[in-house]
Structure 1
């Protein structure tokens, strides 16, 4: 939370720099445009005026977004940043269409005015300044992870390009190509409207809880790298400003304890935060479907085969758990190593019965000769015998 607030404070710096720069450039361009009779310079000046309004809205939005969560805004006020971007785009649309209308009227009226080439110098200076601001705001947007500031940086770049266009138009007009000045003014308005459209689409997408599917695919691939997760059943993502919120449903091995499942969920949250900068993740855990070979009838066959292998002294290292306990008829208790050392071949298993204690614990009871054998099998990844006891069969 504190990091997100710090990021917004960092983004404020970029908005303030942009406002101060646009104040200077818009005043210079509008004054020079009217004095030098350049439509493209005036259009560029109005473009910067729209940028001032947009960045003021952005600055207000960023400051409001920093407010902590309250009773009516449980997730905080982060979306105000997106709302500020949306307002910025609407303002830019208005200014762009207004400049376009004015330029078209001048073309229709065939107004021809001699343009002083000195205006080209201002265009070059403006382009250099705006490109520097673009680089600075791009750097800040990466540091602060602010989508609004990133959009503002794109606007800075378009302003640098349009300023170069203004320079070309003024030079062309000074060489008796006055129509070029007005055509470039139209091109400049196109950049204004295009930038406004891009910002509008991005902000409205976020405000309507849209989310990038490619990011969800990346999240899923990374989640599946964590052991004991069977499947990412569902994902839902949304953004609040520059903060990403995720709702994820995971399927895990049904043998896992609540503690183990919780530990894995914590791993997922930490990984998403560290690798992708996800702000908040809510994880719901569901048991994965029981495999075909774990259905009771199949378990019966599987454990019968394993009891036979143990009875024959085969694969003892694999089939016996490390904490295996064996109790003989005389009451003597043997551990795994002792049991392996004295194991003898016996007669065939008879009358095997399986009792299901739980999904992952089964009790096996069978007879070999005149001895009753009782085993407890536990499944944790694989089935292993954890307990075995011999009991002398009572004579009828």
Structure 2
């Protein structure tokens, strides 16, 4: 898993390099054309691309550092550097966005206005098409690598594409004596810069402060509770390290399970979360679950009495019998197994007398009692063992001979 994630970060860098190359070309081109055609909207869009260059460089550095293996001082690895890089990127975007907004507003207040050459719209249109291609490339690569940083970068690519098309429209509008629309579009573009900066800031701080989506935890809990040996998920919490999910899970299992069986169940949980939800690391803690019988009855002897009554009267046998390890000796000496027992069922209405219970181990009870039918009286000895639930594993019936 470590090698796969490291390799994914390496592949994700390709998308960042493509974005940086496109932004360098477009920022230089748009700012230069903006000076020639006197378009505030085109100039704002060019500076928007400058912030994207700086932001993507910060993300690129973060991806490089995040790939460093864990060491003595970073036992969870360096994955969070990816979020730190995104946070720095948001600060850069905030600074440039406010500066471009300030300059645009000052030009509007001072009444600075120059005629706009409609040829500037070609630059905006070309920029929009290029960023749309970069968006599709980055988005597909982000899905393949599952890189949150690249996903954020691809969303920024789409935002830049839309604002570039808007810039082209504003330049054309200004050329037909609607100069105010050019300045309005410049303000709108600044708003897009600040909105994108805020979204990146919000997501990165949420991750760095160990925030986690509760809806994901609900999905994880539901999936884990479907596993056979898990009685209940008592607690689950998650945190993000870059694009990687780390989970702490506390589950309740039957106290009858061995250490080996409990450990095997924890591995099933880890595999499920990794394969179905792409969870990077899961720490599972097992606690003993309260058995339903122990919660319902005051003592084990009283718990087993109604079960033995059902057994005596051939009721619910399929849920009370240990199918793989059951043997019964009938009063005539015939020995039968679970399969034969289930084929000889005949509903009765018998009552237990002189019931006694003896505990021979934590999980094993021996019950003895008498019952009488229409022909004779009988003595029964049965052995019950608990394996998550109580099951009968041995039974012997002896006919009582009256003197």
Write out per-residue CA displacement over residues 223-255 of structure 1, whole angstroms, 9 at most, x where no aligned residue: 222223221111100011111011011112333
Residue 205 of structure 1: how far off its partner (Å): 0.3
Q: 1:193 to 1:326 in 2, by over 3 A?
A: same
Q: Using the alignment, how far apart are the partners of 1:338 and 1:150 within structure 2?
A: 59
Matched, 1:385 2:392: yes
Q: In the alignment, is the contact (CA less than 8 A) between 1:326 and 1:339 conserved in 2? A: no
Residue 363 of structure 1: how far off its partner (Å): 2.5
Q: Using the alignment, how far apart are the partners of 1:63 and 1:20 within structure 2?
A: 18
Q: Using the alignment, how far apart are the partners of 2:316 and 2:226 within structure 1?
A: 32
Q: 1:374 to 1:339 in 2, by over 3 A?
A: farther
The equivalent of 1:364 in structure 2 is 367
Q: Using the alignment, how far apart are the partners of 1:207 and 1:101 within structure 2?
A: 31
The equivalent of 2:204 in structure 1 is 203
Q: Using the alignment, how far apart are the partners of 1:342 and 1:243 within structure 2?
A: 58
Q: 1:282 to 1:36 in 2, by over 3 A?
A: same
Q: Using the alignment, how far apart are the partners of 2:261 and 2:167 within structure 1?
A: 65
Q: In the alignment, is the contact (CA less than 8 A) between 1:349 and 1:368 conserved in 2? A: yes
5 Å-filtered alignment, 1:15-26, equals 15-26=16-27
Write out per-residue CA displacement over residues 177-198 of structure 1, whole angstroms, 9 at most, x where no aligned residue: 2121111111100000000000
Residue 109 of structure 1: how far off its partner (Å): 0.9
Q: Using the alignment, how far apart are the partners of 1:295 and 1:359 within structure 2?
A: 18
The equivalent of 2:40 in structure 1 is 39
Residue 6 of structure 1: how far off its partner (Å): 1.1
Q: 1:224 to 1:34 in 2, by over 3 A?
A: same
Gaps of 5+ in 2: none
Matched, 1:260 2:261: yes
The equivalent of 2:383 in structure 1 is 376
Q: Using the alignment, how far apart are the partners of 2:396 and 2:24 within structure 1?
A: 89
Q: In the alignment, is the contact (CA less than 8 A) between 1:320 and 1:336 conserved in 2? A: no
Matched, 1:355 2:362: no
Q: 1:141 to 1:380 in 2, by over 3 A?
A: same
Q: Using the alignment, how far apart are the partners of 1:338 and 1:40 within structure 2?
A: 84
Secondary structure, in 3 states, of the residue corresponding to 1:321?
coil
The equivalent of 1:59 in structure 2 is 60
Secondary structure, in 3 states, of the residue corresponding to 2:322?
strand
Q: Using the alignment, how far apart are the partners of 2:310 and 2:162 within structure 1?
A: 79
Residue 261 of structure 1: how far off its partner (Å): 2.4
The equivalent of 1:226 in structure 2 is 227
The equivalent of 2:270 in structure 1 is 269
Q: Using the alignment, how far apart are the partners of 2:248 and 2:39 within structure 1?
A: 55
5 Å-filtered alignment, 1:291-330, equals 291-292=292-293, 297=298, 299-307=300-308, 319-322=320-323, 323-325=325-327
Q: Using the alignment, how far apart are the partners of 1:277 and 1:389 within structure 2?
A: 53
Q: In the alignment, is the contact (CA less than 8 A) between 1:321 and 1:336 conserved in 2? A: no
Secondary structure, in 3 states, of the residue corresponding to 1:205?
helix
The equivalent of 1:50 in structure 2 is 51
Write out per-residue CA displacement over residues 128-152 of structure 1, whole angstroms, 9 at most, x where no aligned residue: 0001111111111111111111111
Aligned length: 391
Q: Using the alignment, how far apart are the partners of 1:44 and 1:177 within structure 2?
A: 19
Q: 1:174 to 1:294 in 2, by over 3 A?
A: closer
Write out per-residue CA displacement over residues 246-267 of structure 1, whole angstroms, 9 at most, x where no aligned residue: 1011112333333222222222
Q: Using the alignment, how far apart are the partners of 1:314 and 1:175 within structure 2?
A: 92
Q: Which moved more, 1:138-147 or 1:366-375?
A: 366-375
Secondary structure, in 3 states, of the residue corresponding to 1:379?
strand
5 Å-filtered alignment, 1:62-211, equals 62-211=63-212
Write out per-residue CA displacement over residues 324-360 of structure 1, whole angstroms, 9 at most, x where no aligned residue: 3457999x894537996999x9x97554322334554
Q: 1:79 to 1:260 in 2, by over 3 A?
A: same
Q: Which moved more, 1:58-67 or 1:229-238?
A: 229-238
Residue 119 of structure 1: how far off its partner (Å): 0.7
Q: In the alignment, is the contact (CA less than 8 A) between 1:81 and 1:148 conserved in 2? A: yes
Q: Which moved more, 1:203-212 or 1:303-312?
A: 303-312
Q: Using the alignment, how far apart are the partners of 1:88 and 1:305 within structure 2?
A: 69
Q: Using the alignment, how far apart are the partners of 2:154 and 2:64 within structure 1?
A: 18
Residue 271 of structure 1: how far off its partner (Å): 1.3
Q: Using the alignment, how far apart are the partners of 2:318 and 2:131 within structure 1?
A: 73
Gaps of 5+ in 1: none
Q: Aligned Cα RMSD in Å? A: 3.0
Residue 272 of structure 1: how far off its partner (Å): 1.1
Q: Which moved more, 1:120-129 or 1:285-294?
A: 285-294
Q: In the alignment, is the contact (CA less than 8 A) between 1:58 and 1:84 conserved in 2? A: yes
Residue 380 of structure 1: how far off its partner (Å): 3.0
Write out per-residue CA displacement over residues 1-47 of structure 1, whole angstroms, 9 at most, x where no aligned residue: 11101110111001000011111001101111112211111111111
